[in-house]
Chain A
Amino acid sequence: MRDVALKMLLGDRAKYIGLIFGVTFATLLMAQQVSIFTGIMSRTANAITSVREAEIWVMDPRVRYVDEVEPMRPVELSNVRSVAGVEWAVPHYKGLATVRLPDGMTQQVQLIGVDDVSLVGLCTDMIAGQRDVVRDPQSAVIDRNGFLFVWPQGDFATAKPLELNDNRLTVRGVCNTQPTFLTFPILYVTYDAAMEMTPPQRNKLPFILVKGRAGQSPEALAKRITQQTGLQALTTSQFQWRSINYYLERTGIPINFGITIALGAIIGAAITAQTFYIFVVENLKQFAAMKAVGVTNGQLLQIVLTQAGLVGVIGYGLGIGFTALFFFVTKDAPALQGFRLYGEIMAGTAIAIAVIILASILFSLGKVFRLDPAVVFRG
């Protein structure tokens, strides 16, 4: 009967293509949108996870996500350092600033001030220049995407002069970074240089980065820091999830994506279900004849499941293929950099597609099952 199922399906080329199109479309829309959504959500945490040396981020208790900056008193640095189990603790500046280019244009940047001794918090994957150029108070390192945004010709090795709040600064290094949620260029200087160049009244110590002594859990140390200093101390992954959750709860991003994903599922389901329904209804007379000559409902179910299975596998495969192709083609576009099609998303989409197809079948199969073979005798 499986052969019959496939021949019936392939014999109706237009319906067959329509069915596959519906499934492909639903798969593509769901997989691609969920991937972009998770990509954007993980970007909100990239500023945290990219500082690999730090285990714990200490900040003002009011901070809810990584791009929110509340000042701490400078004395907190020594308070944190005095907590038992802290191997090291360094200041980390993070804030927005405006730079002026020689041609008079201005550009918003994310200014990162790193500890000038350890350079903790400075990107590591240099593609031009050396990391320690930042130790010179008049030099900076910039991220690759930021460099290309400001100087599209991409001459990474050429020193680039800038002005930041009337301080002259030269970009002497370029590094690869994971894109962050705020897409402004990332400019790295030392913490002290950041203090010099930013207005004195501004938030001065937004973060303290901490590494614990070997052999103790970061969670326990974070708890101890909070208890002793009254500050908010979070492990990297706690802070990461706090940031992600903030964006999930407080922004329209999840709703927006949710709507797109739901639309993909609904439209895909509608196309698939309707085409399948028409396919079955148009073949009803044939199904009745098959029943009359002794084909059982179980065999008809097998036929319909085989047809649905083939359409599902091909449509899903094409949809995932197109999604992967999309991310492959756009892998160098800064707007989509780091976005990937995760296995979990493929599995989730597969389940959603299976549900859509089974729902489509249920919809039309009732008609086949209830079909009275006596109708074949009617003209």
Chain B
Amino acid sequence: MHAVSFRNIAKDFPIGDDRVRVLHDCSADIALGQMTMLVGPSGCGKTTLISILSGILTASEGEVTVLGQSLTRMRDHHKVLLRRERIGFIFQQYNLLPALTAAENAAMPLMAAGMKLPEAAERARAILDGIGMQGQGDKLPRQLSGGQQQRVAIARALVHNPGLIVCDEPTAALDAATGKAVMAILRDIANDPGRAVLVVTHDNRIYNFADRILEMSDGRLIGDFAPDAFQH
């Protein structure tokens, strides 16, 4: 099974009365146990593509299968459940709730699935401990550095043990050293044969963390490389 398989994806956005096509005929398979990067210039459609692959946006054309489930005719409510149970998200902005502690923020997907806060926070704390956040679980986001906040976001993406982890520019708000540390954690996660990590980036300093790089340009997938073969 592939983590994600997509065929002939197109996406149109309405612009006034017109529609503009931002993705054209994108097809690929994303393997489990790998870190796949999606790279390309700004505005080429990377975020739009991963939003479709993770069930946040719906494709205008084409087929998507995530962890064996077809998204093509899936109802919105089921997509929410799929995200909640099978997918972890890491955003460029950490998007943590300022009033919740690190552990409580990381526990959000478990709570969304109905787990009580104390138990969910306990599990989240264990994940935080595993990614260098020992003893930080009770701090509020504003008491944490950017790199620490991104680790909280990583813990939130891992806490429900998802098969697919989707990251949009996870290092863009971090300095080089902190970005590398965060990528090392994601790299570790991708080594798990039951998981796929999909990272959107245009930060060439981190390309070497990938197992595979998909290159995009103007809404099309134009290349599929091993990192050492990728010229930029």
Contact = CB atoms under 8 A, between A and B. Distances in A.
Interface of A: 1, 3-4, 7-12, 283, 285-286, 288-296, 299, 373-374, 376-379
Contacts of B95: 285-286, 288-289, 292, 376
B217 interface: no
A288 B56 CA distance: 11
A294 B84 contact: yes
B89 interface: yes
Contact of A293 (B51, B108, B168): B108
B27 interface: no
B47 A377 contact: yes
Contacts, number: 90
B179 interface: no
29 contacts: A4-B97, A4-B100, A4-B108, A4-B117, A7-B99, A10-B99, A11-B100, A12-B99, A286-B98, A290-B108, A292-B89, A292-B95, A293-B84, A293-B112, A293-B156, A294-B83, A294-B84, A294-B113, A296-B112, A374-B51, A374-B56, A376-B89, A377-B50, A377-B51, A377-B91, A378-B47, A379-B92, A379-B93, A379-B169
Interface in B56-87: 56-57, 77, 80-81, 83-85
B109 interface: yes
A294 B91 contact: no
Contacts of A296: 77, 80, 112
A299 B112 contact: yes
A12, A285, A295: which has the most chain B beta carbons within 10 Å?
Answer: A295
A373 B166 CA distance: 14
Given A290-B108, A293-B108, A373-B56, A8 B89 contact: no
Contacts of A288: 95
B51 to A, nearest CB: 5
Given A292-B83, A294-B113, A376-B91, 12 more contacts: A4-B97, A4-B104, A11-B99, A286-B95, A292-B89, A293-B83, A293-B109, A294-B84, A295-B84, A374-B57, A377-B50, A377-B92
B104 A293 contact: no
Contacts of B57: 374
Given A4-B104, A373-B56, A377-B47, A294 B80 contact: yes
Contacts of B56: 292, 373-374, 377
B61 to A, nearest CB: 18
B49 to A, nearest CB: 11
